Amino acid sequence: MPQTKSGRWSKDLPTALAAKYADMESDDTLLSLRDDIRLSDALMRANFAKLATGESGEAWLLMRKGVDAFQLAIDREDLAGLNKAIRDMRDVIDLRVAHHAAENEIRTGLEQRRKLIETEQKLTLQGENAISVEKLMLLITAVGAIIRSNIHDAPTLSKIQNEISLLISTPETA
């Protein structure tokens, strides 16, 4: 699916799907992968419309009725009745197959949404737990000032400053 210049999908969506997408835009509870999550939600909602209203029990009753009509047509040697019974049973089967496909697409969409939200939560936590270099340098400077104001022994102060400098200049080992 092509993207727009901004990397967003909304301009490329069919009208009905675009309306569902627009409904999602006002949901402030979504995380910052909002556009991907909104698209996932819009696709799932579109799939809900594909679900047949009847439960599978209803489908079995319709199939039973089709089989009965089929048997009656055989007994009467009614070729048109046979064809109609087969068409009716195929219609029921096609509806159930489409229903099952829509359910599977919704399940897949839910799993994709879960992964998007999980990823966003990880990114958010990483951002919240990270400290900028500027803040870190301010903290080190403040700690250094506290040490200098409370330790008056020059050799000890020099040793602490050297160890802090060594700590700052040593590359991180991962």
Q: What is the mean pLDDT of residues 131-139?
A: 80
Is 108 in the same domain as 149?
Answer: no
pLDDT surpasses 50 at 69: yes
In a domain, 76, yes or no: yes
Cα–Cα dist 160/5, whole Å: 54
Residue 1 within any structural domain of the chain: no
Domain shared by 80 and 144, yes or no: no
Tell me, yes or no, whether 88 and 14 share the same domain.
yes
Examine the domain organization and report whether 40 and 88 are in the same domain.
yes
- In this predicted structure, the answer to whether residue 4 has a pLDDT above a threshold of 80 is no
The pTM assigned to this predicted structure is 0.44
Looking at the chain, the whole-number percentage of residues with pLDDT higher than 70 is 79
Task: Based on the fold, state whether residues 20 and 43 are members of the same structural domain.
Answer: yes
Residue 155 pLDDT: 92
Residues 6+ apart with CB under 8 A from 103: 51
Q: What average pLDDT does this structure show over 12-29? A: 70
- Does residue 5 lie within any of the structural domains? no
**Residue 1, pLDDT score:** 41
Q: Given a cut of 80, is residue 86 above it in pLDDT?
A: yes
Q: Is the pLDDT reported for residue 3 higher than 70?
A: no
Domain of 159 in residue numbering reads as 133-169
Q: Are residues 147 and 62 in the same domain?
A: no
39 and 71 both lie in a single domain: yes
Is 146 found in the same domain as 60? no
- 16, part of any domain: yes
- The answer to whether residue 2 sits within a structural domain is no
Give the model's pLDDT for residue 65.
93
The pLDDT tens digits for 36-49 are 777 778 877 777 77
What average pLDDT does the segment 164-173 reach? Answer: 75
Q: State the pLDDT at residue 53.
A: 61
pLDDT at 167 over 60: yes
**Whether 9 contacts 39, CB under 8 Å:** yes
Q: What are the tens digits of pLDDT across the range 89-121? A: 999 888 888 888 878 888 888 888 888 888 878
Instruction: Indicate the average pLDDT of the chain.
Output: 79
Residues of the chain with pLDDT > 90, as a percent, come to 20
Contacts of 134 (CB under 8 A, 6+ apart): none
Same domain, 31 and 49: yes
d(CA 83, CA 70) in angstroms, rounded, equals 8
